[in-house]
Amino acid sequence: MERTEAHGLSAAMSGTFLLSCLLFAAINHRQRGPYMDEGFHVPQAQAYCHGRFLQWDPMITTLPGLYLVSVAVAKPAAWLFGWTGSVVCSVGMLRFINLLFSTGNFYLLYLLLFKIHQKNKAVSGFQRILSTLTLAMFPTLYFFTFLYYTDPGSVFFTLFAYLMCLYGNHKTSALLGFCGFMFRQTNIVWTAFCAGNVVAEKLNEAWKTELQKKKDEKISSRKGSFSDLIRILQFLTEYVISPKKLLTLTALTWPYIILVTVFFVFVFINGGIVVGDRSSHEACLHFPQLFYFLSFTVFFSFPHLLTPTKIRKFLLSLRKHPVQYSLIAVISLFLIWKFTYVHKYLLADNRHYTFYVWRKVFQRHELVKYVLVPVYIFAGWSFADTLKSKSIFWILMYFVCLLAVTVPQKLLEFRYFILPFLIYRLNIPFPSLYRQLLELAFYIVVNAIHPSHFSLSSLIHLLGVLMFFSGPTLGYMSTYVTYFYNQVLYLGSNTVPQCSSPDGFTSALPVALLPLLRPPPEGIGHHQYHTFATISVKLEYSGPRILCIPDSKTLGVDLESPLFVLKFQHVRHGSTQRWRDFVQAMIACCGSPLSIRLSHWPYGTVKG
Higher pLDDT, 115 or 33: 115
Please report which confidence band the pLDDT of residue 350 belongs to, taking 50, 70 and 90 as the band edges. Answer: low
In this model, does residue 452 exceed pLDDT 60? no
Q: Which residues of 411-429 are buried (b: 16+ CB within 10 A; e: fewer)?
A: bbbbbbbbbbbbbbbbbbe
Please report which confidence band the pLDDT of residue 526 belongs to, taking 50, 70 and 90 as the band edges. Answer: very low
Cis ω for the linkage preceding 58 (within 30 of 0): no
Query: What pLDDT, in 10s, does the model give residues 160-211?
Result: 999 999 999 999 999 999 999 999 999 999 999 999 999 999 988 888 887 7
Cα–Cα distance measured from residue 165 to residue 160, given in angstroms and rounded to the nearest whole number: 9
Q: Which candidate, 511, 529, 512, places its Cα nearest to that of 520?
A: 529
Tell me if residue 432 falls in helix, strand or coil.
coil
Query: What pLDDT, in 10s, does the model give residues 359-371?
Result: 888 888 889 889 9
Bin 509: left if φ > 0, else alpha if -120 < ψ < 50, else beta. Answer: beta
Q: How buried is 322 (Cβ within 10 angstroms: 0-12 exposed, 13-18 middle, 19+ buried)?
A: exposed
Residue type present at position 507: S
Average pLDDT of 277-301? 89
Tell me if residue 113 falls in helix, strand or coil.
helix
Model pLDDT, residue 226: 62
> Rounded to 5 degrees, what angle do the CA atoms 394, 400, 406 make?
130
Higher pLDDT, 327 or 596: 327
Q: Which of the residue ranges 206-215, 296-305, 477-486 would you say has the lowest mean pLDDT?
A: 477-486
Q: What is the DSSP letter of 409?
A: B
Tell me if residue 275 falls in helix, strand or coil.
coil
Sign of the torsion angle spanned by Cα atoms 332, 337, 339, 341: positive
Model pLDDT, residue 349: 64
Model pLDDT, residue 152: 94
Cα–Cα distance measured from residue 234 to residue 365, given in angstroms and rounded to the nearest whole number: 45
In this model, does residue 118 exceed pLDDT 50? yes
| Whole-angstrom Cα Rg for the chain | 27
Bridge partner residues of 564 (DSSP): 539
What percentage of the chain exceeds 90 in pLDDT?
A: 40
**Which residues have CB under 8 Å from 515's CB, separation 6+?**
467, 468, 471, 475, 476, 477
**Which residues have CB under 8 Å from 300's CB, separation 6+?**
138, 139, 140, 421, 442, 443
CB 583 within 8 A of CB 608: yes
Model pLDDT, residue 288: 93
Q: How many Cβ atoms are within 10 Å of 252's Cβ, its own excluded?
A: 17
Cα–Cα distance measured from residue 433 to residue 347, given in angstroms and rounded to the nearest whole number: 41
Model pLDDT, residue 85: 67
CA distances, 109 to each of 116, 146, 190, 437, 553 (Å): 10, 19, 16, 17, 34
Q: How crowded is the C-beta side of 211, counted as CA atoms within 13 Å?
A: 16
Tell me if residue 597 falls in helix, strand or coil.
strand
Q: Which of the residue ranges 346-350, 464-468, 493-497 would you say has the lowest mean pLDDT?
A: 493-497
Cα–Cα distance measured from residue 56 to residue 153, given in angstroms and rounded to the nearest whole number: 20
Cα–Cα distance measured from residue 374 to residue 387, given in angstroms and rounded to the nearest whole number: 20
In this model, does residue 69 exceed pLDDT 90? yes
Bin 31: left if φ > 0, else alpha if -120 < ψ < 50, else beta. Answer: beta
Residue type present at position 561: S
Model pLDDT, residue 334: 95
Residue type present at position 505: F
Across the chain, mean pLDDT equals 74
In sequence order, which ranges of 82-150 are alpha helices (DSSP H)?
91-116, 125-136, 139-142
Q: Which of the residue ranges 121-135, 186-200, 538-552 would you say has the lowest mean pLDDT?
A: 538-552
Please report which confidence band the pLDDT of residue 604 belongs to, taking 50, 70 and 90 as the band edges. Answer: very low
Model pLDDT, residue 79: 83
Query: What pLDDT, in 10s, does the model give residues 404-438?
Result: 999 998 888 899 999 999 999 999 999 889 999 99
In this model, does residue 395 exceed pLDDT 80? yes
CB 599 within 8 A of CB 536: yes
In sequence order, which ranges of 149-287 are alpha helices (DSSP H)?
151-166, 170-183, 188-214, 226-240, 243-270
Q: Which of the residue ranges 216-225, 476-485, 498-507, 533-542 would you say has the lowest mean pLDDT?
A: 476-485
**Which residues have CB under 8 Å from 92's CB, separation 6+?**
28, 32
CB 196 within 8 A of CB 401: yes
Model pLDDT, residue 376: 94
**Which residues have CB under 8 Å from 597's CB, separation 6+?**
538, 540
In this model, does residue 144 exceed pLDDT 60? yes
Cα–Cα distance measured from residue 410 to residue 408, given in angstroms and rounded to the nearest whole number: 6
Please report which confidence band the pLDDT of residue 532 belongs to, taking 50, 70 and 90 as the band edges. Answer: very low
Q: Which residues of 543-581 are buried (b: 16+ CB within 10 A; e: fewer)?
A: eebbbbbbbbbbbbbebbeeebbbbbeebbeebeebbbb
Tell me if residue 508 falls in helix, strand or coil.
strand
Average pLDDT of 329-334? 95
Q: What angle, 0 to 180 degrees and rounded to 10, lies between the N-to-C axes of helices 91-116 and 418-427?
A: 30
Model pLDDT, residue 347: 74
CB 9 within 8 A of CB 110: yes
Q: Which of the residue ranges 57-66, 335-344, 570-579 would you say has the lowest mean pLDDT?
A: 570-579
Query: What pLDDT, in 10s, does the model give residues 54-63?
Result: 888 888 888 9
Model pLDDT, residue 4: 85
Residue type present at position 508: A
Q: What is the DSSP letter of 412?
A: -
CA 523 to chain centre: 50
What percentage of the chain exceeds 70 in pLDDT?
A: 70
